[in-house]
Amino acid sequence: MRERKNELTKELKSNVTNERTYERTNEIKKERKKEKERNKRKKERKKEKTNEKTNEQKNKVRTNERTNEIIKELRNERMNERTQELTKKRNEQTNERKKERTDKRTYKQTNELKNKRTKEQPNEQTNEKTNNQKTQPKNK
C-alpha cells in the first residue's frame, strides 16, 4: 500500500510538474511569438526608414542633376548670346573695313582721273603713249 501511495504521489508530482512545465512551455512559446512579432515590426520600421532615406537621397540627387542641367543650359545660352554679339561686332568691323577700302579706291580713282585729264590737255599727242603706260593697271 505504501508503495502504491508513493507511486501515486510521484505520479501526482510528476503530473503537477508536467503541468507546470507545459504551462511554462506554453508561456515561453507565447513570449517567443510576441518577440518574433516585435522583431518583425522593428525590421519593417527599419526598412521603411532606410527606404525613406534612400528616397530622399535619390530625390536630392535628381534635384541636383536637374539644377546642374539648368545651369548648363543657362551657360550655353549666355555663351551663344556672347558669340552672337562677337560675330555681329566682327561682321560690322569687316563691313567697315570693306567700306573704307572701297572709299579709298574711289578716291584714288577720282584722283587718277583728275591727274590724267590735266596731263592730257596740254599735249595730247605726245603724251598718249606715256599716259597709256601709266594708267594701265599693274598685275598683282
Maximum mean pLDDT: which of 15-29, 35-49, 99-113: 35-49
pLDDT at 128: 55
Digit-coded pLDDT (tens) for 95-107: 988 888 787 777 7
Closest CA to 131 of 116, 118, 110, 121: 116
3-state secondary structure 1-57: CHHHHHHHHHHHHHHHHHHHHHHHHHHHHHHHHHHHHHHHHHHHHHHHHHHHHHHHH
Digit-coded pLDDT (tens) for 72-126: 999 999 999 999 999 999 999 999 888 887 877 777 778 887 787 777 665 555 5
117 within 8 A of 129, measured Cβ to Cβ: no
- Give just the sign of the alpha carbon dihedral 21, 23, 28, 29: positive
pLDDT at 140: 45
131 within 8 A of 116, measured Cβ to Cβ: yes
**Cβ neighbour number for residue 119 with a 10 Å cutoff:** 15
| Tally of CA atoms within 13 A in the half-sphere of 47 that contains its CB | 6
Instruction: Report d(CA 19, CA 117) in Å as an integer.
Output: 145
Q: Where are the domains of the chain?
A: 47-104
Instruction: Report d(CA 68, CA 64) in Å as an integer.
Output: 6
Which of the residue ranges 35-49, 61-75, 104-118 would you say has the lowest mean pLDDT? 104-118
